[in-house]
Amino acid sequence: MIEFDIPNYRRIDSKLYEKEKRKLLIELVKLQNWIIQEKKKIAVVFEGRDTAGKTGSISILSRYLIPKHCRLVKLGIPTERESKQWFKRYEKQMPTTGEIVFFDRSWYTRALVESTMGYCSKRQYTSFMNKVVPWEKQKKDEGTEILKFYLSIEKGTQKVRIDKRQNSPLVYWKISENDLKGLDKWDVFTLYKEQMFKKTSYEESPWIVLNANDKKIAVLHALRYILGHFDYPKKDLPKPKIWTEGINDYSLKINKVPFTNLSYQQYKTLKIFADDD
């Protein structure tokens, strides 16, 4: 398991974020062109608790990629047959040559959500945990590179985000009864998460843990890790700049009300309540 963190990103404001994001997305397009030309197969997994920012992160990463060679996989509730033949459900979703596939939750749903909520049996869970690493290594032998991101958030952050969604006239529909149950089962989920890290993080495909209490920073970290993982032509990935905490030009919006000329500490305190872009 790798806790991937770039300290300089902790001091980035919205304007600098947009500049950094644009630079990294340009590099991601270069990377995709290389993947197409070299006929690579890349699977990028995003796991995490509800509201961790999985869907939003994938949306940003894939925004400028060539759609023909990029795909999102976000599967719903499995059928009884799919539940019994778990890996077959994902076999047909794996990338073909020259393709990047982003998994918004993945086969690891069995190790996290299904086990936490009791949607699979103990035997199914144990079988999955015993088979998943050999299955992934087989995919690697067949030419598929698997990158596994876990977006980590604090319990307070999740509660604030759930409350914001419930009270939003635009995204209230995103909250399900399952989300609320998941908050109550925080400790159970944590137990299964730690077991997943311990048993399924290995040298060829470690879990990359990203702090997602700030969704924007999580996106930059994901981009940085992906770009740093591959050597592609015309790669131009300079180190992140050092931004000062002393300036007072941070800004954000809370319930569409702008707050400007904030110090870094004020910005950091209020960021959790800020509107999602």
Asked if residue 179 and residue 268 are part of one domain, the reply reads no
Asked if residue 260 and residue 225 are part of one domain, the reply reads no
Asked if residue 135 and residue 262 are part of one domain, the reply reads no
Rounded Cα–Cα distance for residues 157 and 272 (Å):
7
Backbone conformation region of residue 217, classed left if phi is above 0, alpha if psi is from -120 to 50, else beta? alpha
For residue 160, how many C-alpha atoms fall within 13 Å in the half-sphere facing its CB? 16
Reported as a pLDDT band with limits 50, 70 and 90, residue 126 is very high
Q: Residue 211 pairs with which residues in a beta bridge?
A: 152
Reference 103, options 132, 126, 74; nearest CA is 74
* pLDDT top residue among 277 and 232: 232
Asked if residue 273 and residue 149 are part of one domain, the reply reads no
Asked if residue 253 and residue 161 are part of one domain, the reply reads no
Asked if residue 174 and residue 235 are part of one domain, the reply reads yes
Rounded Cα–Cα distance for residues 17 and 219 (Å):
10
Asked if residue 108 and residue 54 are part of one domain, the reply reads yes
The residue type at 45: V
Reported as a pLDDT band with limits 50, 70 and 90, residue 12 is confident
Asked if residue 267 and residue 158 are part of one domain, the reply reads no
CATH number at residue 188: 3.40.50.300
User: Are 218 and 151 in contact, with CB atoms under 8 Å apart?
Assistant: yes
User: Are 141 and 41 in contact, with CB atoms under 8 Å apart?
Assistant: no
- Report, as an integer, the average pLDDT of 73-98: 96
Asked if residue 133 and residue 81 are part of one domain, the reply reads yes
Global pTM value: 0.86
Please report the sign of the dihedral spanned by the C-alpha atoms of residue 119, residue 124, residue 129, residue 132.
negative
- Report, as an integer, the average pLDDT of 200-218: 96
- Report, as an integer, the average pLDDT of 190-199: 97
Domain total in the chain: 2
What's the pLDDT at 247? 45
| Distant-in-sequence contacts of 156-165, Cβ < 8 A, 24+ apart | 156/272, 157/51, 157/213, 157/272, 158/49, 158/50, 158/51, 158/52, 158/183, 158/186, 159/183, 160/272, 160/273, 161/51, 162/50, 162/51, 164/276, 165/51
Note the helical H segments in 63-152: 80-84, 86-91, 115-117, 122-141
Asked if residue 56 and residue 176 are part of one domain, the reply reads yes
Asked if residue 267 and residue 167 are part of one domain, the reply reads no
Reported as a pLDDT band with limits 50, 70 and 90, residue 83 is very high
Reference 267, options 228, 211, 258; nearest CA is 258
Domain of 112 in residue numbering reads as 2-243
Asked if residue 257 and residue 164 are part of one domain, the reply reads no
Q: Residues in the chain, how many?
A: 277
Rounded Cα–Cα distance for residues 151 and 32 (Å):
23
- The rounded mean pLDDT for the chain is 90
